[in-house]
A and B are shown apart, each in its own frame.
Chain A
């Protein structure tokens, strides 16, 4: 099964939640401003990413090759509207570069506004 077919399979079996971009941006900004603890936040994000990966693996009924990860992540980001990303693998590192994202409209620096989603990717890939 090609990755686009695996992704289609995932979408067929998923309910979606559609949240306005502004809600995500301002929730993250406000929680960052009041200093919401990054440890618990990253843990929650990782757990959510793992749950998503489990749903994905269940929907495609098997394993995924490391080489398929870049295309899969690019498709997921594109579909969600979280932005255009370019993903590459270099040895034991996976580089996920944001070409653009609606989150960049935030007044926070990109590394701050993207940080809460790092845990999701970590959990998903783990």
Chain B
């Protein structure tokens, strides 16, 4: 049940704290960035973005605590939050699954996939943000890689 509430709260958070951009603008900027940085290893790119992902999760956790007295998000609930974040933000449709210490975030549809035919390039700009976001929500570090159209995040 809490997962359903978290989906609703995630939507409210984005409505209150989000900046709205036309998809065409974000897609163009994302695509140019992805292709410009294509030869830079994912590990280097994530240095820039991981911290930003953590800051967003921190802000989201503060929002949940201050407005809804929610102080903890458990493993399965993180999946509901991530799926809703992608969907409501317009970043795309994803399906999340947990398998042991791994979280698979499969990107079903997103403008990111249009950036480049190679998923490593197309999805690579976002992996640090996702790692940082999930690490901060879980309170445990996760490290990710890209397999096909999926992010595979391992909980350390």
Seen from chain A, the residues whose Cβ lies within 8 Å of a Cβ on chain B are: 10, 14-27, 30-31, 34, 36, 40, 43-45, 47-49, 51-52, 55, 79-82, 102, 120
Chain A residues within 8 Å of B23, by CB: 14-17
Q: A81 vs B18: C-alpha distance in the bound complex, in angstroms?
A: 8
* Distance to closest chain A CB from B76 (angstroms): 23
- If A27-B52, A30-B48, A30-B51 touch, whether A18 touches B24 (CB-CB below 8 Å) is no
Of B19, B33, B47, the contact of A19 (CB 8 Å cutoff): B19
- Complex contacts, B36 vs chain A, CB 8 Å: 40, 44
B148 to chain A, nearest CB (A): 23
Interface set of B (CB-CB < 8 Å, partner A): 13-15, 17-29, 32-33, 36, 47-49, 51-53, 55-56, 58-60, 88-91, 111, 129
Supposing A26-B52, A40-B36 touch, asked if A16 and B17 sit within 8 A by C-beta, the answer is: no
Minimum distance in angstroms from B116 CB to a CB of chain A: 15
Q: Known: A23-B55, A23-B56, A26-B55. Contact between A52 and B22, CB under 8 A? A: yes
Provide the bound-state CA to CA distance between A48 and B29, in Å: 5
Chain A residues with CB under 8 A of B29: 44-45, 47-48
Measured CA separation A18–B15 after assembly (Å): 8
Q: Could you tell me if A18 and B19 are in contact, using CB atoms closer than 8 angstroms?
A: yes
Question: Chain B residues near A27 (CB, 8 Å)?
Answer: 48-49, 52
**A-B CB contact pairs (8 Å), 18 listed:** A14-B22, A15-B22, A16-B20, A19-B19, A19-B21, A20-B59, A22-B55, A22-B56, A23-B129, A24-B19, A26-B56, A30-B52, A31-B48, A44-B33, A48-B25, A48-B28, A81-B19, A81-B20
